[in-house]
A and B are shown apart, each in its own frame.
Chain A
Amino acid sequence: MSDIDLSENHFEEKRRENGMEFYWTGHPFVDAGLAAILLIAGKSKPEELQKEDVSKAVDFAAELYATKDWSSSYLHGMIFPNSGIVMSNPSMSKKRSPENIAQNLWSILEKTNATNPDSPTCIICGRKPAYTGKEIYLSVFPLLGTGGVTNYFHSANPKGADICAHCIFLTQFLPLVSYRLSRVLVIHAYPYELMLELSKGALDEIKKSKLASQAKGFRIPENFLFHLIGEITRKVERDEFWENASVTLYYFICNLQNQVLDIINVPNPILRFVAYANKVDYVGWRRIVAMGWKGKPSEAEIENFERERRNAVYSRLLNYESILPYFYNLKERKVNASWNLLAFYCKEVAGLDKEALEFIKSVGDRIVESIERLPNHKLDDEVRSLERAEKLHQFEAFFIRIEKVRQNLGIEKPLMTFDEFTKILTAYGEDVNVSWKTVRNLLLFRIYEKLHDRLIKSDKSSEISEVLEENEYAIFGGEGE
């Protein structure tokens, strides 16, 4: 049986004399609010928060929320439509002031321990009685339903959602660590230390400009996250920073006309790979990413593309699709990154094991050793036949051609044993990520890495004829992918 006993209280509740008691809940919006208060206080643990810290956060938020910039287009328009608490309700514009907003916030917090034996338990933290001061709909807590459609709630609960004052209070601070792109981006992460790190930039920017963080002009949430990972990784020394990290993006808009949400969970292997890439081969990684945009950006354009356009490499990574073809440039026949980075990707993302990778690398080296003795135009022919292998039988034919090359050149040892040959053709076919096409891509990478200069020369010297006729393959049979 699993050896963590859930009944042990892993929060270790610490009651404080001054009544301030905060805790992480696992809910992205509530945790974001707590992160904001902690960052404003310069602290990292909720149990360290004192009344002065909360006071500071309340004043900071109230000051901003009372301004027109925040109130109408951001709070009312994107997060808390018609809110009475942060006073984003347009009808409140006359009464709206930092003092009144602060007072509203405090009055919620005061209700945290209000005991009403009838109150159900909070569905977010499971520890406090639900707040009953008002109905809990989307103006109080983003993306909840509205009173107009009570059947969104359990048994059409006319009170809305069962959420406690602690969780409602914290959620009001969410805008202070959110990034304002076309929608609102909240980055939820665990361990929470990482959440603080990923949210810090938003608050820093708000402190400077008094405006909602613009996420450095990024318009696409995943691009921004990958940018942040790079920045943090190049700054943070510790290698294990992303080791068991959980990161999920909540990209939403919540106003009266429109409620939209995208949840983008970033698998841990992807986090680690992107971090590793930034650290070990930053230039190579940039070249890989650059290939993910349509309309190849020039060096100078990359920053703009990064901010504004979706990238195929990022989408493929998030969808667990292979990005191997992006590791090299087929047109220019050169590699984009180091073998190191490729190997890390294969092992940690695609799931190819170390032995398999070493084996493929050694086959690649043997191929190089065979074809590098050929004159340029012949060399070009052979590589081209591998580049064009779209069917398994074409891939088989490539090896047979190389075997012939070796015989013609009088190289004594064969390219591969029969066992190796079958292994390379069949052993990697089970998984969509690791098929014979993976092997082909890895071999091409190795060939380009070793022979780029010569391949480019031969490319220029001779217009390549259609080397192989389709029927030449027929003898080897097999159509399979």
Chain B
Amino acid sequence: MMRVKIKSWTASFRYPTFQSGYQPTLPVPPLSTIQGILSAARGEIVSFKEIPFVGYVFMSEGKGIDLERIYALGKTETDVMRREVLFDNTLYLYLPDEWKKYFKKPRFQLLLGRSSDIATVEKIENVELEERVNIPVGGTIVPVVSGLPGLVHALPVEFDYPTIPRRAKTVKPFTILPFPRNAAQRRRQTYSGKLLYDLEIDIGVWFYEGLHGEV
């Protein structure tokens, strides 16, 4: 399989329903953001249905709050709101080899959140991940049934785009696991089942396969 390393200065991943006055960011992107990145790279809307497997690991060096002026559509009045932003971010995407060509020359600008959160491809590599048990996982979201402790929230998996406004196709509760910061956190985020392990980044990767739009 291949691994693509994507970097960005800023990132923001909105909670699906907190959108007035203050917009917090999720600590890691939901699957729907990954869908967006894949779609931008290929140049057309991608559904997970078409992708045999996908996994990702996200890391961020910090976060802060930005003030942003919002123009109300069709009105002259503006509003200032606070938006949480993640800084100095890295996203590793694990995909089948045929995705190399899209990330070598992405069709549209890759984004880690909104249109200002511009991202670039830093490296595309072939990787061999090793299957292991009892390894830590993080920088990603996992199904709540995994039993791992984190931030539980309902998140969109995939959007359907033919309509305006776009519609959520699949939504499920997930546990959001930040990239572990120390040995204690790694221990708490250790999954007892089988996972593929990325030796270089020293983390287990949670793969979603055969999503088939159903999750």
Contacts and interface: CB of A to CB of B under 8 A. Distances in A.
Q: State the main secondary structure of chain A at its contact with B.
A: loop
A26 B144 contact: yes
A155 B167 CA distance: 10
Contacts of A246: 149-152, 175
A264 B60 CA distance: 18
A175 interface: no
Given A27-B153, A125-B154, A258 B207 contact: no
A25 B165 contact: no
A125 B171 contact: yes
B171 A123 contact: yes
Contacts of A141: 17
Contacts of A460: none
A96 to B, nearest CB: 25
B22 A260 contact: yes
A122 B156 CA distance: 10
Contact of B182 (A7, A138, A433): A433
A244 interface: yes
Interface string A1-35: 11111110010000000000000111111100000
Which interface class (under 10, 10 to 19, 20 to 34, 35 or more) fits B?
A: 35 or more
Contacts of B142: 2, 4
Interface stretch (B3-11, B106-114, B117-125, B187-195): B187-195
Contact of B154 (A27, A153, A189, A263): A27
B73 A156 contact: yes
A162 interface: yes
A44 B149 CA distance: 21
Nearest to B157: A126
B172 A6 contact: yes
Nearest to A254: B20
Interface in B170-200: 170-175, 181-188, 191, 193-196
Nearest to B75: A148
Interface stretch (A343-351, A375-383, A473-481): A343-351
A268 B20 contact: no
A157 B165 contact: yes
Contacts of B87: none
Nearest to B165: A155
Contacts of A190: 144, 149, 152, 175
Contacts of B143: 4, 6, 10
Nearest to B204: A2
Given A154-B165, A156-B165, A248-B151, A4 B193 contact: yes
Given A25-B173, A26-B172, A353-B183, A123 B17 contact: yes
A378 B136 CA distance: 48
B168 A121 contact: yes
A179 B73 CA distance: 36
A107 interface: no
Which interface class (under 10, 10 to 19, 20 to 34, 35 or more) fits A?
A: 35 or more
A120 B166 CA distance: 9
Given A2-B207, A4-B146, A7-B215, A26 B174 contact: yes
Interface string B130-154: 0000000000001111111111111
Contacts of A25: 154, 173
B99 interface: no
Contacts of B215: 6-7
Contacts of A10: 143-145
A127 to B, nearest CB: 8
B168 A126 contact: yes
Contacts of B182: 320, 350-351, 431, 433-434
Contacts of A244: 147-149
Contact of B22 (A259, A352, A431): A259
Nearest to B16: A123
A145 B73 CA distance: 13
A116 B199 CA distance: 50
Given A268-B149, A351-B185, A6 B17 contact: no
Interface in A118-134: 120-126
Contacts of B73: 149-151, 156
Interface of B: 16-22, 24, 27, 53, 70-73, 75, 79, 142-157, 163-175, 181-188, 191, 193-196, 206-212, 214-215
Given A6-B215, A120-B168, A126-B171, 11 more contacts: A2-B195, A5-B210, A25-B154, A28-B153, A121-B170, A151-B70, A153-B19, A246-B175, A259-B20, A261-B21, A433-B181
20 contacts: A2-B142, A2-B146, A2-B191, A2-B193, A4-B142, A4-B143, A7-B214, A26-B172, A27-B173, A120-B168, A121-B171, A122-B168, A124-B16, A126-B154, A146-B20, A152-B20, A260-B21, A261-B22, A268-B188, A351-B182
* A-B complex: 9 closest residue pairs judged by Cβ atoms: A26-B173, A126-B171, A259-B21, A351-B182, A351-B183, A155-B165, A268-B149, A26-B154, A351-B184
